[in-house]
Structure 1
Amino acid sequence: MLNIKKYAAIDIGSNAVRLLISNIIEQKGKPTLFRKSSLVRVPIRLGADVFLNQKISKENELRMVDTMNAFKLLMRSHRVVAYKACATSAMREAENGSDIVKLIKKQTKIKIDVIDGEEEASIIAATDLNQFIDRTKTYLYVDVGGGSTEFSVIHKGETAASKSFKIGTVRLLNDIVQKEVWLELEAWIKESTKDYEKIELLGSGGNINKIFKISGRAAGKPLTYFYLTSYYNMLQTYSYEERITELDLNQDRADVIIPATRIYLSAMKWSNAKYIYVPKIGLSDGIVKSVYFGTVSSVNLV
């Protein structure tokens, strides 16, 4: 006998806003299954406002309200029973972030929690990376976002170190990441991985997912440092317009994919990793599992 219900996660990032609806399948005497039912992505790019002007523009404020209303209707149509909405770097740093959270709650009834980098990393950890990794190996997990990137060293299935850095694709596009931050990241990666003989990367985020899909690699097979370097160099030979028309990238992907690839390559270089695995998990997946297991507070859909 199966018991199936739907939970949802709203991820309000610096580059895009996502709604993930998942089927939760409970089976007597067996592990619970989590199956993605629907994923909607809206490229509002709040970080372009916040990282340059410290506040979210009126236009994007209205887009956020419209998007949350649309998400609420989609959740209702899917008969979602509980959800959690999390906002990360851009909303956290916006001078008017708390005002917009209140406005959205008033106009859409959607409750948004603004979380810090450490909580973001812990929610992502709830995705149960163990099903994607070899517990005899050591990994550097890299989750690239628009405003920040979360790094975790995973040794024999356990998190040995983790840290969030304000290096993200939207920040890099706008040239507002100082050299000192890069140096701090380099030092942290080298120090955190120096005691391990061999490191492999786990990469998450929309950009590495896209690169993996383009590569044609079979699921579970890694990308090599050589492949990623070649792809990075190739991207830079095309203009932004050509990446859209000739490489078939969406307009909101065609610019951020270059700085994202730079972050992954830097992490591989500083950790001496030769391979990067792409399990296609992220914050939204972690939110759903955290809601199900009760490790974060959720909201019933009204």
Structure 2
Amino acid sequence: MTRVAAIDCGTNTIRLLVADLLPGPDGAPALAPLARENEIVRLGQGVDRTGRLDEQALARTLAVVDDYAERLRGLGAQRLRFVATSATRDAENRAVFVDGVRERLGVEPEVVSGEEEARLSFSGALSAAHGAQETTRLVVDLGGGSTELVLGTSAPTAAYSMDTGSVRVTERYLADGVTPAAEAVARAHVRDLLEVAGRSVPVERATELVGLAGTITTITAHALGLSDFDPEALDGARLSVEDTLASCEAVLHSTPAERESWGYLRPGRRDVIAAGALVWSEVVAHAVERTAALGAPLTTTTTSLHDILDGIALSLAVRA
């Protein structure tokens, strides 16, 4: 038995998974989780505008890396993979971050491409697939700085990473609030990117739409009327497209007091959740439109709590 650790450092959140690798029922590796942690650090603060990682954001993130290093020593992880995504990809001073992680953890953080990010997200989602194995899934990993679209059944057949997400859209379009004009421009931005993505990912072939990450779990929790974050209720939750879009609309136009009252919405996500809801609503509407053109429109969305973090951990099964 091998104990592995995966760290996913995105634009808004840094997360840790420690798990034992076990043989699954089909012989493929499976995960027995021991610890799953996450902290909102907003590493990507201002990167879209400045092209650099902010010093305070770096300090926040590396402080959590220190905590994770101590946690890993206590749990005795034998293999570790640290993956950094959108914010680090886009930052000209990313070497400062890479050096800081290496000093604390003794491993080289991998600044992966959008395509690799998509592949890992698909692998993680598939590890706990809630539908039939032959389903052609469109897996959407909606992050702070990028949104990955990946299509496949047992493995990815097409993938594309869009430079948009909850933090990027907030900073670029909604920093002063969700006005009709700002919303219209933001929606046009996402629609343009989806059109480009469609040249690489044939969305119309999807028979299931699976959403990953914090924005989508928040939308799902809102639609289900949850009072707090409930993993059992959220993982594998299936919503009608109508309910999904209605919750997106409600969250997009929610008040600060409403957002503060939602126990499933962490403080560090409150200021960017409106933008996340906008992006998810456009992705869902786009997928429905494209599949309807072939006569089989998607009617539901599925939420998975298994995502890129699980994919990173599983990738260690084939590493020496």
Q: Report the TM-score when normalising by structure 2.
A: 0.80
Residues 194/283 of structure 1: CA separation in 2 closer, same or farther (3 Å cut): closer
Contact 2:125 2:308 in 1 (8 A): no
Give the superposition deviation at 1:271. Answer: 1.9
Please tell me the root mean square deviation across aligned C-alpha atoms, in Å. Answer: 2.8
The residue that corresponds to 1:264 in the other structure is 280
Give the superposition deviation at 1:97. Answer: 0.6
Give the superposition deviation at 1:44. Answer: 1.0
Q: 1:125-176, CA deviations, whole angstroms, 9 ceiling, x for partnerless residues?
A: 333617513244332211101110110122x544332111101110011125
**Match status 1:126 vs 2:108:** no
Q: More deviation in 21-30 or 208-217? A: 21-30
**Match status 1:10 vs 2:19:** no
The alignment partner of 2:269 has SS state of: coil
Q: Using the alignment, how far apart are the partners of 1:195 and 1:285 within structure 2?
A: 27
Q: 1:219-256, CA deviations, whole angstroms, 9 ceiling, x for partnerless residues?
A: 54411111112212222443224311356522112233
Q: Using the alignment, how far apart are the partners of 2:163 and 2:188 within structure 1?
A: 12
- Number of aligned residues: 290
The residue that corresponds to 2:148 in the other structure is 150
The alignment partner of 1:278 has SS state of: strand
Q: 1:75-100, CA deviations, whole angstroms, 9 ceiling, x for partnerless residues?
A: 01111111110111101111211122
Residues 25/160 of structure 1: CA separation in 2 closer, same or farther (3 Å cut): closer
Task: Tell me which of 204, 207, 211 is aligned to 2:212.
Answer: 204
Q: Using the alignment, how far apart are the partners of 1:40 and 1:95 within structure 2?
A: 28
The residue that corresponds to 1:300 in the other structure is none
Which has the larger share of helix?
2
Residues 181/263 of structure 1: CA separation in 2 closer, same or farther (3 Å cut): closer
Q: What are the within-5 Å matches in structure 2 for residues 68-79 of structure 1? A: 68-79=65-76
Contact 1:153 1:162 in 2 (8 A): yes
Identity fraction in percent: 23
Structure 1 spans left out of the alignment, 5+ residues:
298-302
**Match status 1:55 vs 2:64:** no
Q: What are the within-5 Å matches in structure 2 for residues 17-32 of structure 1? A: 17-26=14-23, 32=29
Structure 2 spans left out of the alignment, 5+ residues:
174-185, 227-232, 289-297
Q: More deviation in 235-244 or 77-86? A: 235-244
Residues 263/237 of structure 1: CA separation in 2 closer, same or farther (3 Å cut): closer
Give the superposition deviation at 1:209. Answer: 2.3
**Match status 1:183 vs 2:208:** no
Give the superposition deviation at 1:275. Answer: 0.9
Contact 1:130 1:157 in 2 (8 A): no
The residue that corresponds to 1:41 in the other structure is 38
Q: What are the within-5 Å matches in structure 2 for residues 200-239 of structure 1? A: 200-214=208-222, 215=224, 220-239=236-255
Give the superposition deviation at 1:207. Answer: 2.1
Q: Using the alignment, how far apart are the partners of 2:218 and 2:25 within structure 1?
A: 37
The residue type equivalent to 2:16 in the other structure is L
The residue type equivalent to 1:189 in the other structure is G
The alignment partner of 2:268 has SS state of: coil
The residue that corresponds to 2:139 in the other structure is 141
Residues 48/241 of structure 1: CA separation in 2 closer, same or farther (3 Å cut): farther
Q: Report the TM-score when normalising by structure 1.
A: 0.84
Q: 1:10-32, CA deviations, whole angstroms, 9 ceiling, x for partnerless residues?
A: 11100111111112235899654
